[in-house]
């Protein structure tokens, strides 16, 4: 089995997601499995509901009812412990073989964050390394790390044109 932790999907009875997560956390602490099971998440989203009186309110809702995501190093012992928690019906996969989420799937679900180290600042000259404007150079106008966005002014067809890019689409020119 892989020695690298991966995200797996656990099927649960509907409405048992929180109970399953709590039970697994107790097992992890009680059996000292912190080196095998690292994180559990119940994907949630915030939605705005309009009440009958026309009032808007923010509500947390499960994105995947009946599922819990778990980051762990798969082994027979850990599989057996998780599989036998009350409320767990199994793992996503074929038969008794759990299939981990791909890195892209984990990123899409917000389980993993793609960290970008920004080595440039406003006024620096940068080269675009990805996208339709690849290999163009320009000047950084704004950097918004919280929005994963950088604004760069590029010279195209004799005109200065501002373009919005993701932080990892540019690199500083040395």
| Lowest-confidence segment of 33-37, 68-72, 137-141, 145-149 by average pLDDT | 145-149
Tens of pLDDT, residues 4-46: 889 999 999 989 999 999 999 998 889 888 899 998 988 888 8
Tens of pLDDT, residues 113-143: 666 678 899 999 999 999 899 999 999 999 9
**In this predicted structure, what is the pLDDT of residue 113?**
61
Please say whether the beta carbons of 7 and 68 come within 8 A: no
Q: Tell me the two tokens of residue 152.
A: 């760069």
Q: Which domains does the chain have, with CATH numbers?
A: 6-108 (3.30.70.940), 125-172 (2.30.30.30)
How far are the Cα atoms of 51, 138, 142, 151 from residue 164, in angstroms, in the given order? 38, 12, 9, 5
How far are the Cα atoms of 114, 118, 123 from residue 127, in angstroms, in the given order? 21, 13, 13
**In this predicted structure, what is the pLDDT of residue 114?**
60
Q: Where are the alpha helices (DSSP H) in the chain?
A: 17-30, 76-83, 103-108
Q: Is residue 3's pLDDT more than 60?
A: no
Question: For the whole prediction, is pTM greater than 0.75?
Answer: no
Per-residue pLDDT band for 112 (boundaries 50, 70, 90) equals low
**In this predicted structure, what is the pLDDT of residue 2?**
42
Three-class SS of residue 53? coil
Read off the pLDDT of each residue in 56-67 and give the average, rounded to a whole number: 86
Q: Mean pLDDT score of the chain, rounded to an integer?
A: 87
**In this predicted structure, what is the pLDDT of residue 1?**
37
**In this predicted structure, what is the pLDDT of residue 115?**
65
Long-range contacts of 79-83 (CB under 8 A, 24+ apart): 81/27, 81/31, 81/33, 82/10, 82/24, 82/37
State the first-to-last Cα distance of the chain, in angstroms, to the nearest integer. 44
Q: Is residue 68's pLDDT more than 60?
A: yes
Read off the pLDDT of each residue in 57-80 and give the average, rounded to a whole number: 88
């Amino acid at each position: 089995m892989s020695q690298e932790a991966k995200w797996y999907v656990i099927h649960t009875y509907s409405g048992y997601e929180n109970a399953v997560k709590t039970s697994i956390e107790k097992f992890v602490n009680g059996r000292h499995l912190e080196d095998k099971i690292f994180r559990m998440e119940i994907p949630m989203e915030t939605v705005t509901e309009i009440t009958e009186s026309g009032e808007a309110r923010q509500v947390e809702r499960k994105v995947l009812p009946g599922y819990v995501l778990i980051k762990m190093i798969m082994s027979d012992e850990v599989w057996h412990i998780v599989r036998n928690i009350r409320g767990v019906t199994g793992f996503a996969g074929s038969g008794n073989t759990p299939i981990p989420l791909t890195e892209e799937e984990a990123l899409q679900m917000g389980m993993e964050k793609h960290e970008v180290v920004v080595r440039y600042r406003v006024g620096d000259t940068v080269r675009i390394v990805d996208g339709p404007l690849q290999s163009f150079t320009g000047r950084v106008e704004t950097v918004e790390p919280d929005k994963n966005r950088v604004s760069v002014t590029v010279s195209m067809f004799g005109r200065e044109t501002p373009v919005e890019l993701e932080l990892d689409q540019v690199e500083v020119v040395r």
